[in-house]
């Protein structure tokens, strides 16, 4: 699979009194990018949920490097950092489209659960879904 690129324009309401994107909004941007990324390789959230699988967030790490403002465009490139069948770590390269500067360095950690939020091993629970995630590690 080729590199996935998600572009996100910054809206005025996402900025703070100083005119820069409020730090809390970056977590939302990562979620948007991750949803579209997963859809791109055949794992949209609705298909997972229809099969009784959820992927809760266990942790978010975000280091702020450069600010963006209203009218700027973020380029977010999610990628698989780790996959065990039970846990998933997604890394994100986030840059300003105009300048190319790194805006944040981020990652999210997740686990796979059934609809009752009991952890499951995707390798045992659903081979087809497991194979899609494992194929991303080979790239």
Catalytic residue among 16, 93, 96, 131: 16
Does the active-site annotation cover 93? no
Counting Cβ atoms within 10 Å, is residue 108 exposed (0-12), middle (13-18) or buried (19+)? buried
Q: Which of 74, 87, 77 is nearest to 34 (CA)?
A: 77
Q: What is the C-alpha separation between 76 and 90, in angstroms, rounded?
A: 12
Give the list of residues 6+ apart from residue 139 with CB closer than 8 angstroms, or none.
1, 80
Residues identified as active-site: 16
């Amino acid at each position: 699979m080729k590199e996935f690129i998600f572009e996100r324009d910054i809206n005025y309401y996402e900025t703070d009194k100083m005119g820069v994107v409020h730090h809390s909004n970056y977590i939302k941007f990562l979620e948007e990018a991750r949803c579209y990324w997963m859809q791109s390789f055949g794992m949209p959230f609705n298909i997972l949920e229809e099969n009784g699988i959820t992927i809760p967030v266990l942790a978010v790490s975000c280091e702020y490097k450069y600010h963006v403002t209203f009218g700027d465009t973020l380029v977010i490139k999610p990628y698989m950092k780790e996959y065990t069948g039970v846990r998933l770590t997604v890394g994100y390269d986030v840059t300003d489209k105009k300048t190319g500067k790194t805006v944040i360095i981020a990652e999210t950690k997740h686990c796979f659960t059934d609809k009752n939020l009991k952890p499951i091993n995707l390798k045992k629970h659903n081979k087809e879904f497991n194979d899609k995630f494992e194929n991303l590690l080979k790239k």
